[in-house]
Structures are given as structure tokens and as C-alpha cells.
Amino acid sequence: MSVESMINQDDSSVTTEVVNPFRVGDEETIGEAPCALVIFGASGDLSHRKLIPAVFALRQGGYVDSHNPLIGFARSKKTDEQFRSEMSEAINKFSRFRSATVDAVDAFTSDLYYHVGDYSDPETFIALGKRLDELAEKHNTKGNCLFYLATPPTSFEPILKNLKISGLVDESGGAFRRVVVEKPIGSDRATAQTLNERLHDSFDEKQVFRIDHYLGKETVQNILAFRFGNGIFEPLWNRRYIDHVQITVAESIGVGSRAGYFDKAGITRDMLQSHILQLMTLIAMEPPIAIRGESIRDEKVKVLRAIKPFTRMEAIRNVVRAQYSSGVVDGEASPGYLEEEGVPEKSQTETFVALKLEVDNWRWSGVPFYIRTGKRLAKRVSQVNIVYRRPPLAFFEAFGCDAPEQNVLGIRIQPEEGISMSFVSKRPGPSFHIDPVRMDFKYSASFAKQTPEAYERLILDAILGEASLFAREDEVDLSWKLIDPIIESWSGDNPAPLYTYQSGNWGPEESSALLERSSREWLRL
């Protein structure tokens, strides 16, 4: 498929074909990636909502086929048939191809299998090995296998150990064996290091794929296309022209049914350590020598190394944490965090964090990166705003105009994915007045295709062995190195305060104060 054929200005012809711009030109790989997929934690929410629908979408797009049988591995007893019918329900409910024909769903689910077992019982894994051998024959998988750990982290260790004991990680026969690990990778630097050690007890680093679904989002990958595929932006992407950068990842939902996990994690571990630092590295990194393989990860690591780590005092000064109280979100009354089901009475867990980071390198020295993320904020929106410096002369004041607003390049990750540029323009008429105006690019208007879900791209990449969109061990380690002092500043003597904000707002006032200190403000989203 040519790039031209993917571009269609006519909005009305939106189809459901899978489009993966980074894979254009890679058609030789389509349908030629024989490999069994084993999902540990197949009864869980992630598997129902995201993984199975993603594999089904890949199948619909012809990226995988009957050479890719899938085994759901979980503790509850059920038959293959029961599993198949549950998964077809999940497809009907959560897939972007939910209107696919019954035949298409049946063709897919007939290649699904179920394996009941205890993660800590080596016998179950030996039985899994036998099952994989049978399926290798039946589906001609060539013995290749991708293990997906979609369980709570407490199960990672026994699964990894038993995969090793039962010989399932052995690649000496020529077939590949890979493991995909879901976040969270640890809860601090030490636990992440331990988990990485456990991973390496069983797998080589090149077999390990640490998933961060933000990297699978089309708009996140588009940051690379935008920066390095255009001649006009990269020369302006530095301290000479940029005043500061704002990154907002706001959610209107609360903690929902995940209080058990979230209350231990908090938003800093849940969003900042992973998704947001990944996003930031793509914005701040130097051009990689190639857009594949290790090159991108090498550059991202350099950014993480260049971010100035906080001392305790700096963390207290430059980080704001807060928890939501009751309020109104999307027109509906919503409870405070402490009233949510499963949240401990006196929980001190932060549901919002805002901070100022500095990247101490040649490109970014002196350009602050302001970041905020939280639950139960005014709306669901993820956006990066690159705010440019003002022009050197305030020419228009002579005509009674206010100082022109700063130019802003807005990269909208979700929803209404796109890119906008704000600049000033002369207001029509005899006087010389200037007003801010905007140029907009909207994905939905330019590309007449449905955007693939992040997990589709990532699962396919793991099957194909392309690791550039997965977090490498050193990335995880360095991001925890930055996060640990922040979390530590919230305990011990004189801990940083925990503020509150009303649900449906943009966080506490202190978040705005963080920018006001240097006469800046959060831009409206």
C-alpha cells in the first residue's frame, strides 16, 4: 500500500482496515510471523479488554493468521470451548472490529486454547510445553513462542522461574522464545532491579519486551515522524527558540475498581515513571541514527541521563502532589478519592502530580519541562505543548496592542489526535491589531482510516522481534532513579505536603503556582 493511498481527504469514507504507517513497505512480514502466543493472566481485564481484541485486529488486518495460535493460561478451570466463547464476547464488547462477521470471529477463536494451571507449579509448565509442541505441529509455528505476562507482578517471579525450569525459554533449537512484561516494572529502583535480574535469570535482554502502551499509540510515534520527517521544525527544536515545554496527561476517570493496585502505586508510579517519561524522551531526544533497532532507545536513554535528578529539597520545591476530593466531572457528581471503594480511610496516595524537570544538555539547558498528570481532572486529554520564545521586539505595542501571545506547537496525543500551531495574525481592518490564530492538522481529517490500538502495534512488533518501542532495562532503571527521590520526599521528616483538588478541576492551585514563579501558566486544553 502506498502512503498516497492511505491519505484520503474524504472523512466520510472511514474504513476499519488496519493501517500501520511504520509498516508500510514491510508487507513481506505480514502473515509470515509464525509464532504461538501464550497469555498468562488470560482471565484478567487486560486480556479481555486489550490483548485479545488487539490480536483479533491483527488477524483482521492479515498481520497474523492460523500460524499464530493463542493459549490463554490462568488459574480458573475452564475448557477450550468456554475460553473461546468468553473471548468472542470480549471481541463483541471491546474490539474496534466488533462488527466483524460471526465467521471471522469463529475463524479466530478456533485457534484459541486454554491451559489451566498454577503459576508456581512446574508440572503445569511441563504440560504447557507438551501443548506447545502439539500446536507447533498443528499450526506450523516453527516452535516460535511469545510469552505475555499479563498477571499481577507478584506472579512474575514464579512464572519466569518455571518457564526456565521447564526448558521453555531455550532458543538453541533455532526457534525464538520471547517474553512481554506488563508494567509496573517494580515499585522503585531496587525492586525494578530485582525484577530485571529475575528476567535475566530466565531470558537474555534481547528476548525481553517491556511494554509501555503509550509507545504503541500512533500519535506518540508521530512525534518521531513530525520531528525527523520535516525540514522546518527540527532547526527550531532547541533552547534558542523554545521557552518551555508543557506535558499534560489528564484523565477524567477516577480510580474505578483498581483501588487495590492504585493505592499502593499512586499516579507517580502509575503514569509518570512509565508513560510520561517515555513521552518526554521522544520530545527531547537527539535524532537517532536509524528509526529502528537500538538507535531510538540509545537516544532516549541519553535524555534520561541528562534530566537533572532532584535532591530532597528540590523535590519538595519542584513537585506538587495532590489527591482529589469530591466534585463534578462531566456533569456528574463524583466522590472524593477517600470515599472510593477499596481506598484505605486515611490514604495519602497522590492522584495528581505536577513537576518541573530540567534536561541538562546542549539542546535543552535552561528550558523547563512542566509535567502534570492526574485522575478526575476536568477532561481526558493528553497533549504536549511546545511554547516558543517571544519575538525580540515588542513592535506592536506602538499600536496599542498587548504583547503577542507566544507561539505554541500543540501535539495532541488523545483525543482528537492531531497537531496545531498557534501564531498571531493581523486583525482585518484599518487599525493594526494582532490576534492569536491557529493552524490545525487532525488525523481524522487527513487519514481516512481508523487508528490502530496501541497494543496491536506492540504485540506485532514483539512477534517480529522489533524492540525499539519497548523499554530497555537501562531506561527503566534511569527512570526509577529520577522518581525515587520524589517519592522519598513524601515521607520522613518534613514531608512535602499532600494537597487536595476538587474533582473536575485541573489540579490544586499549587500546580499553577509552579509555573507562576517564572511568570508562566498552564495553557488551556
The answer to whether 75 and 114 are in contact (CB under 8 A) is no
Catalytic residue among 48, 115, 213, 275: 275
Binding mask 240-269 for ligand BG6 (x = CB under 6 A): -----------x------------------
**CA nearest 295: which of 87, 468, 82?**
468
72, amino acid identity:
G
Question: Is residue 350 close enough to count as binding ligand BG6 by CB under 6 A?
Answer: no
The answer to whether 119 and 162 are in contact (CB under 8 A) is yes
- For residue 357, is it left (φ>0), alpha (ψ between -120 and 50) or beta? beta
Q: Which of 218, 243, 270, 473 binds ligand BG6 (CB under 6 A)?
A: 270
Q: How far is the CB of 245 from ligand BG6 (least distance, A)?
A: 19
User: In terms of CB distance, is 115 or 217 closer to ligand BG6?
Assistant: 217
Q: How far is the CB of 52 from ligand BG6 (least distance, A)?
A: 17
Q: How far is the CB of 454 from ligand BG6 (least distance, A)?
A: 7
Q: How far is the CB of 214 from ligand BG6 (least distance, A)?
A: 7
**CA nearest 259: which of 270, 248, 249, 250?**
270
DSSP letters, 379-417, are S-EEEEEEEEPPPSS-GGGGGTPPPPPPPEEEEEEESS-
Total of chain residues touching ligand BG6, rule CB under 6 A: 2
For residue 233, the tally of other CB atoms under 10 A from its CB is 15
Element (H, E) at 153: none
Q: How far is the CB of 208 from ligand BG6 (least distance, A)?
A: 19
Cell 507482578, located at residue: 153
User: In terms of CB distance, is 43 or 274 closer to ligand BG6?
Assistant: 274
**Geometric angle at alpha carbon 17, from 16 and 22, rounded to 5°:** 130
Q: How far is the CB of 246 from ligand BG6 (least distance, A)?
A: 17
User: In terms of CB distance, is 34 or 336 closer to ligand BG6?
Assistant: 336
Beta bridge pairs of residue 182:
none
User: In terms of CB distance, is 243 or 251 closer to ligand BG6?
Assistant: 251
The answer to whether 510 and 499 are in contact (CB under 8 A) is yes
Binding mask 188-227 for ligand BG6 (x = CB under 6 A): ----------------------------------------
User: In terms of CB distance, is 334 or 407 closer to ligand BG6?
Assistant: 334
The CA distance from 516 to 368, in Å, is 13
The answer to whether 463 and 146 are in contact (CB under 8 A) is yes
User: In terms of CB distance, is 214 or 310 closer to ligand BG6?
Assistant: 214
Position with the least CB separation from ligand BG6: 270
Q: How far is the CB of 227 from ligand BG6 (least distance, A)?
A: 22
User: In terms of CB distance, is 270 or 417 closer to ligand BG6?
Assistant: 270
User: In terms of CB distance, is 111 or 182 closer to ligand BG6?
Assistant: 182
The CA distance from 267 to 351, in Å, is 5
**CA nearest 186: which of 480, 485, 489?**
480
User: Could you confirm whether 139 is annotated as catalytic?
Assistant: no
State the burial class of residue 116 (Cβ atoms within 10 Å of its Cβ: 0-12, 13-18, 19+): middle
The DSSP secondary-structure symbol of 276 reads: I
Beta bridge pairs of residue 208:
179
The answer to whether 251 and 374 are in contact (CB under 8 A) is yes
Element (H, E) at 271: none
For residue 510, the tally of other CB atoms under 10 A from its CB is 16
The answer to whether 490 and 312 are in contact (CB under 8 A) is no
Q: How far is the CB of 440 from ligand BG6 (least distance, A)?
A: 22
Binding mask 389-418 for ligand BG6 (x = CB under 6 A): ------------------------------
The CA distance from 407 to 458, in Å, is 34
Q: How far is the CB of 153 from ligand BG6 (least distance, A)?
A: 12
User: In terms of CB distance, is 270 or 350 closer to ligand BG6?
Assistant: 270
Q: Which parts of this chain interact with ligand BG6 (CB under 6 A)? A: 251, 270
Q: Give the catalytic positions in this structure.
A: 275
